[in-house]
Amino acid sequence: MAYEGILLGMGNPLLDISAVVDEDFLKKYGIKLNDAILAEDKHLPMYEEMTKKYEVEYIAGGATQNSIRVAQWMLQIPGATSYMGCIGKDKFGEEMKKNSKLAGVNVHYYEDGTAPTGTCAVCVVGGERSLVANLSAANCYKSEHLKKPENWALVEKAKYFYIAGFFLTVSPESIQLVAEHAAAKNKVFMMNLSAPFICEFFRDVQEKALPYMDYVFGNETEARTFSKVHGWETDNVEEIALKISQWPKASGTHKRITVITEGADPVVVAEDGKVKKFPVILLPKEKLVDTNGAGDAFVGGFLSQLVQEKPIEECVRAGCYAANVIIQRSGCTYPEKPSFN
């Protein structure tokens, strides 16, 4: 099977500014543990403060980009994955390009001359992470870039598409173009619920994309928020996963599968009116470095097997393996080679 360009991701490329902070820092900026939000004006000084006050690490990030990089690492086939998003013409943008090339991902960035490359503050307290994203250039992605022949060629070539829900705030038009292409050509289109705020405040664009989704990923908090927003009156993750999998579909080629992670609890997979649960690899607390990128890594591991047409249990097992590797390291980073067999 030819793997070149088989998996395409689109999203918000962000440079993670990661540091172990304290509770007071979170309080000062009104940040909840384990949340993911967009920066408001009140958050803007925090990036500077983090670099002055704490030991920070700069790591190429952005949810979709993380997942694509992890899938690429798991596959170990150069150029199997591609990625699009918008960066600025600055040193962070150059850093991002260098980083992605090293990872073996074929990136086609749209480079915006007016805004700096987006950043994401990763505030770690007790191994748990909170994310505050200042999208900047990432917010400037335009569907015109996607429609350029050299970029649309990546869409034509790919058989699998993955887009984090965060991209719904930037270019729903681009998402729709790819989703419709996937449905017309019987390809596999996948998205992530990504964050409670997406389910709450971007409900309309999320609902517009949902019929095209063949796989929906998310965690328990996002699933419960989705349920609440849709008046389902249940907090039961298994029920919610089933309901999402039964949402009407644009194309009947693939049945929808919902995959919900619950931290250290088993992964919930809903398909065909049934729910299966798969245990994760448990990690002793002292080995946990931070959970930043854990969900992204799970998706990356999962996709690495899915594109090889492996059964769902193998996809979940690879997802759990990748997440387990990532939480023992700072940010969404990994050793040179995977030891997944």
As annotated, the active-site residues are 296
3-class DSSP assignment, residue 255: coil
- Residue 26 CA to residue 123 CA, distance in Å, equals 8
3-class DSSP assignment, residue 70: helix
Q: Where are the beta strands (DSSP E) in 226-291?
A: 257-262, 265-271, 274-278
Q: What single DSSP character describes residue 264?
A: T
* 117 backbone dihedrals φ, ψ, rounded to 5°: -55, 140
Residues with Cβ within 8 Å of 102's Cβ and at least 6 positions away in sequence, in order, are none
HSE at residue 87, side-chain half, CA atoms within 13 A, is 23
- Residue 144 CA to residue 297 CA, distance in Å, equals 30
- Residue 68 CA to residue 297 CA, distance in Å, equals 9
